[in-house]
Structure 1
Amino acid sequence: MSTVLPDFDRVTTQMAGACKDDPICSSLAGMLNNAWWAPLVGSAIVIVLILVLGFVIRNLVHRIITKVVNRAATSGSITSKFRKGVATDGIDALLHERRKQRAETMGSVLKHVASIVVLGTTVLTVLDRLTIPIAPLLTSVGILGVAIGFGAQELVKDFIAGMFMLLEDQYGVGDVIDAGAAVGTVEAVTLRVTRLRDVDGRVWYVRNGTITRVGNESQGWSRAYMDVPVAYDADVVGVRVLLEHVAEELWADSELRESKIVEQPQVFGVEQLSDSSLVFRITAKTLPSAQAEVSRELRLRVKTALDAADIPMVSTTP
Structure 2
Amino acid sequence: MPFLASPSPVSTPTPVITPEVTPTVTVTPTPTPTSSPSPSSLINNLPDLNDIPDPGSLVTFVQESWVPALGTLLAIVLIVAAALALRKLTHRLITRVTGRMAEGVMPDRLRNKSPTVTESSPALLSERRRQRAETMGSVLRSLTSIVIIGTAALMVIDRLGMNLAPLLTSVSILGVALGFGAQELIKDFFAGMFMLLEDQYGVGDVIDLGSATGTVEAVTLRVTRLRDPDGRVWYVRNGTVTRVGNESQGWARAVMDVPVDNHADAAKVKQVLMQAAKELWEDPAYHQTVIFEEPQVWGFEGLSETAIVFRITVKTDPLQRAALTRKLRRRVKAALDSADIAIVAESSAP
Find the residue that maps to 1:280 and give its secondary structure: strand
Higher alpha-carbon Rg? 2
Quick check: 1:277 aligned with 2:303? Answer: no
Map of 1:24 onto structure 2: none
Corresponding residue SS for 1:279: strand
Q: 1:75 to 1:88 in 2, by over 3 A?
A: closer
Alignment TM-score, normalising by the size of structure 2: 0.73
Deviation at 1:266, TM superposition (A): 1.6
Which residue of 135, 142, 148 maps to 1:118? 148
Identify which of 235, 243, 256 aligns with 1:226.
256
- 1:159/1:114 Cα in 2 relative to 1: closer, same or farther (>3 Å)? same
Matched residue, 2:75: 46
Match of 1:255, SS state, is: coil
Q: What displacement does 1:241 show?
A: 0.7
Question: 3-state SS of the aligned residue for 1:253?
Answer: coil
Is 1:90–1:287's contact at 8 Å kept on the other side of the alignment? no
The amino acid across from 2:84 in the alignment is F
Select which of 229, 241, 253 maps to 2:271. Answer: 241
Structure 2 residue 225 is the aligned partner of structure 1 residue 195: yes
**Residues 1:60 and 2:89 are matched in the alignment:** yes
In the alignment, which residue of structure 2 is the partner of 1:253?
283
Amino acid at match of 2:177: A
Residues 1:146 and 2:139 are matched in the alignment: no
Q: How does 1:1-318 map to 2 (within 5 A)?
A: 34=63, 36-70=65-99, 89-90=118-119, 98=128, 101-257=131-287, 259-318=289-348
Map Cα deviations across residues 126-147 of structure 1 (whole Å, 9 max, x no partner). 1222223222111111001011
Contact kept in structure 1, 2:116 and 2:289, CA below 8 Å:
no
Mapped partners of 2:112, 2:222: distance in 1: 38
In 2: Cα distance, 1:77 partner to 1:186 partner: 17
Moved more, 177-186 or 261-270: 261-270
Instruction: Provide the rounded CA distance (Å) in 2 between the counterparts of 1:77 and 1:205.
Output: 25
Which residue is 2:17 aligned to? none
Aligned to 2:36: none
1:42 Cα deviation (Å)?
Answer: 3.2
Displacement, 1:67? 4.0
Distance 1:258 1:266 in 2: 15
The answer to whether the 8 A contact 1:260-1:286 is kept is yes
Q: Return closer, same or farther for 1:87/1:291 CA change in 2, 3 Å cut-off.
A: closer
Query: How far off is 1:36 after superposition?
Result: 4.0
Does structure 1 retain, via aligned residues, the 8 Å contact 2:215–2:228?
yes
Determine helix, strand or coil for the equivalent of 1:317.
helix
Give the 3-state SS of the residue equivalent to 1:257 in structure 2: coil
Number of aligned residue pairs: give it. 285
Partner SS, residue 290 of structure 1? helix
Unaligned runs of 5+ in 2: 1-58
Deviation at 1:182, TM superposition (A): 0.7
Given that residues 251 and 318 in structure 2 are in contact (C-alpha distance below 8 angstroms), is that contact kept between their aligned partners in structure 1? yes
SS at 2:94's partner residue?
helix
- Once the two structures are TM-superposed, the CA of residue 39 in structure 1 deviates from its matched residue by 3.2
Equivalent residue of 1:296, what SS? helix
* Alignment check: 8 A CA contact 2:105 2:118 kept: no
- TM value normalised by structure 1: 0.80
Instruction: Give, in whole Å, the separation in 2 of the partners of 1:224 and 1:245.
Output: 17
- Distance (whole Å) between structure 2 residues aligned to residue 107 and residue 148 of structure 1: 24
CA contact (8 A) 1:177 1:183 kept: yes
